[in-house]
A and B are shown apart, each in its own frame.
Chain A
Amino acid sequence: NAGVMQNPRHLVRRRGQEARLRCSPMKGHSHVYWYRQLPEEGLKFMVYLQKENIIDESGMPKERFSAEFPKEGPSILRIQQVVRGDSAAYFCASSPNVGMNTEAFFGQGTRLTVV
């Protein structure tokens, strides 16, 4: 059973370009979460999705950022018109359900560098 798969592991974008980060949850997991870790800072929750639905996007910047988790295929975190401040590690996690006894399984992250 493969773990949470994120790709690419490293992504370099020029200012103004678009970044697309992909996350394939563990098999059987229908809950996906995205977190961002800015340099020298802790991980911050961004968004929680279930299949085809955004449940909580309270941690997402209001502009340029969007996320989806389609019926088929991976979850996508999309950042339009990237700026240097978007440089960070983006982690995806998945779980089979929600609840106190449910652990979240994290991927290895995508490290985005904006030049």
Chain B
Amino acid sequence: DAKTTQPNSMESNEEEPVHLPCNHSTISGTDYIHWYRQLPSQGPEYVIHGLTSNVNNRMASLAIAEDRKSSTLILHRATLRDAAVYYCILRDVRSNDYKLSFGAGTTVTVRA
């Protein structure tokens, strides 16, 4: 299985952008990049996903490198409610992969 590498933690100031990197150097052509986050004492929550093109939704943007070996989740204006653990997960379309393989993720702290 392709693996992802994320920094353990990141800090941000409120209302500033947050860029969360994810390395996936062994990604295959059929792996989708998914992001989930887990707020304190909550279950994980879907954030965004993509394959090759950059993606935007109401929560965040996903920038995918041209070689797909890395990606960056962008929170445009961090709020205190964005403090969470963010997980970058690969899912293989060939196997219709329903399992989410959560790593350690990146713990994001937002300062008021």
Contact = CB atoms under 8 A, between A and B. Distances in A.
A91 B98 contact: no
B102 A33 contact: no
A44 B96 contact: no
B30 to A, nearest CB: 9
The number of chain A residues touching the other chain, given as a range, is: 20 to 34
Interface in A1-59: 4, 31, 33, 35, 42-45, 48, 56, 59
B99 A48 contact: yes
B80 interface: no
Interface of B: 32, 38, 41-46, 49, 51, 87, 91, 93, 96, 98-105
Given A56-B98, A95-B98, A108-B41, 20 more contacts: A33-B98, A33-B99, A35-B100, A44-B102, A45-B100, A45-B101, A48-B98, A56-B99, A59-B99, A93-B43, A93-B44, A98-B98, A100-B51, A100-B91, A100-B93, A103-B49, A104-B44, A105-B46, A106-B44, A108-B43
- In the A-B complex, the 10 residue pairs with the smallest Cβ-Cβ separation, listed nearest first, are A106-B43, A103-B46, A43-B102, A42-B102, A45-B99, A98-B98, A91-B43, A100-B32, A106-B44, A100-B93
